[in-house]
Structure 1
Amino acid sequence: MREQRLRVELPAVLSLGSNLGDREATIRAAVAEIAALDEVVVIAASSLVESAAVKLDGVDEEAPAYLNAVVAIRTSLDPDELLSAINTIEHDHGRVRDVRWGDRTLDIDIVDFGGLRIDTDRLTLPHPRAAERGFVLVPWLEIEPLASLLRHGRVDALPAAGLDDVHPYPARPLL
Structure 2
Amino acid sequence: MHSTSAWIAMGTNMPFDGVFGAALLARARDDLMNEGVNVLRCSGVWQSDAWPAGTDQPDYFNALLEADAGDRDPRALYAVLRAIERRFGRQRRERWGVRTLDLDIVAMGDLAGSFDGIELPHPRMAERAFVLAPLAELEPGWRHPELGQTAAALLAALAATGGYRRISDFPPSVG
Shorter-chain TM-score tier: 0.7 to 0.9
* Aligned equivalent of 2:12: 18
Asked if 2 retains the 8 angstrom alpha-carbon contact of 1:31 and 1:174, the reply is no
Q: Report whether the alignment pairs 1:60 with 2:54.
A: yes
Deviation at 1:163, TM superposition (A): 6.2
Deviation at 1:165, TM superposition (A): 1.9
Deviation at 1:118, TM superposition (A): 2.9
Percent identity between the two aligned chains: 33
Which stretch shifts more, 95-104 or 154-163? 154-163
Residue type matched to 1:69 in 2? A
The verdict on how the C-alpha distance between 1:8 and 1:23 changes in structure 2, with shifts beyond 3 A counting, is same
Distance 1:73 1:172 in 2: 15
* Aligned equivalent of 1:106: 101
Tell which structure's C-alpha radius of gyration is larger: 1
Asked if 2 retains the 8 angstrom alpha-carbon contact of 1:134 and 1:163, the reply is no
Extract unaligned runs of 5+ from structure 2: none
The verdict on how the C-alpha distance between 1:172 and 1:106 changes in structure 2, with shifts beyond 3 A counting, is closer
Distance 1:9 1:121 in 2: 19
SS at match of 1:87: helix
Report how many aligned residue pairs link the two structures.
165
After the TM superposition, which residues 17-96 of structure 1 pair with which residues of structure 2 at under 5 Å, given as runs?
17-21=11-15, 22-38=20-36, 40-54=37-51, 58-60=52-54, 62-75=56-69, 76-96=71-91
Q: Report whether the alignment pairs 1:149 with 2:144.
A: yes
SS at match of 2:84: helix
The verdict on how the C-alpha distance between 1:137 and 1:162 changes in structure 2, with shifts beyond 3 A counting, is farther
Asked if 1 retains the 8 angstrom alpha-carbon contact of 2:49 and 2:162, the reply is no
Extract unaligned runs of 5+ from structure 1: 1-6
- TM-score by length of structure 1 reads 0.86
More strand by share: 1
Deviation at 1:63, TM superposition (A): 0.9
Cα-to-partner distance string for 1:70-115 (whole Å, 9 max, x where unaligned): 0001122111000000000000000000101111000000000111
Deviation at 1:169, TM superposition (A): 1.6
Residue type matched to 1:93 in 2? F
SS at match of 1:14: strand
Cα-to-partner distance string for 1:104-160 (whole Å, 9 max, x where unaligned): 000000000111123257311110000111110111111112111122221111113
